[in-house]
Amino acid sequence: MDNKLQQAIDQLPEILKRDLDENLCVCNQIPKIKVIEAIVNGADALEKVRQQTFASDGNGCCKLQIKHLLNALVDKH
């Protein structure tokens, strides 16, 4: 795991650090860590996360979790 990704994970609230290797997007079998990687690499909106990972491209049940990760990781300044 690269340093930038580890720093991002370290700044997450404890509840969002759980189950990093488990699928966040069940429909497309996308692990939470892949979504975090996409955000760290510039996917600063739900649509960009979807384009990079295909997460939330199914029935969208993971959208709220992705939004929580975006809120925690994207600089809103």
At which residue do the structure tokens 């993971």 appear? Answer: 62
**Hey, which bits of 1-77 come out as E strands?**
23-25, 30-31
Measured distance CA(13)–CA(2) in Å, rounded: 20
Q: Is the pLDDT reported for residue 19 higher than 70? A: yes
Average pLDDT of the chain is 93
* Structure confidence at residue 76 (pLDDT): 55
Distance of CA 66 to CAs 6, 39, 42, Å?
18, 9, 14
Is the pLDDT at 77 greater than 50? The verdict is no
pTM of the shown model: 0.92
Asked which of 30-34, 40-44, 60-64 is least confident by mean pLDDT, the reply is 60-64
Please report the pLDDT score of residue 58 as a whole number. Answer: 86
